[in-house]
Structure 1
Amino acid sequence: MQPAPIPAEDDPIGHPCPIRNVLDRIGDQWSLLVLDALDGRTRRFNELMRDLGDVSKQMLSQTLKRLEEDGFVRRTLYPEVPPRVEYDLTPLGQSFMVPMKALVEWADTHHALVRGARRAYRSAPAARAAPNAALP
């Protein structure tokens, strides 16, 4: 679980950082996946559980609450028996999908290069430990 953003009064720089504040909230393990699952669709809690696979009920509930708090997700409770709750993206959440899709496309295009860089990094620990080693 990601820590909560640093309140402005506790920020070591002395002022809040809006970029860090937003990225702290959406950069956790589940937020982007939840937003993607809601893109263009209204979902109920159990549908999201199925769509996401291995997320726990507690983590999904917590993620939805944070996304709702930040204005990305709208929670609609219908006064029925049994109660029905649906989640969808707000206009703010929909506007976030444009840069998010660009990030997903970049990751899809470059994931093999990232994996290769990780393998190379892990296979050459001695070169990293040398104080005068040349940068790759």
Structure 2
Amino acid sequence: MKGGVFLIEVEVKYKVSKEDADRVVSRVLSIGGLLLGEEVQEDVYFQHPSRNFVVTDEALRVRCVGDRVEVTYKGPRIDSKSKTREEIRVEVGSFADILLLLEKLGFLQVARIIKRRKTYQLGENLLHLDYINGI
């Protein structure tokens, strides 16, 4: 294990059309924003065996990006306008092994999402554009 990260994440999410996303990117780049990179992310979300994460507003996710695998616990939202919440992230070695371990502990896979993410930086702010088939 490589250690964990404990933080408060503040994010605001919007569902936009490809055309609107293209306009936002064009504007960000025109005022000095930079494309930091692009990656494919595979996310698997789990339901707790004895606690309903929908009711408690929590999430448990395993994310694989290339060779990097990260388990993230997301606590209940602190702010109703943004998705501000406590996050605990831990890097692990094997995607398949952590999925198996969680299933053996009684966690149930409830969603698997594969997306292409482009990340831009404008000042101290990051803009992540996720392209997900079917959404």
Shorter-chain-normalised TM-score: which range?
Answer: under 0.3
TM-score scaled by length of structure 1: 0.23
Greater helix proportion: 1
Greater strand proportion: 2
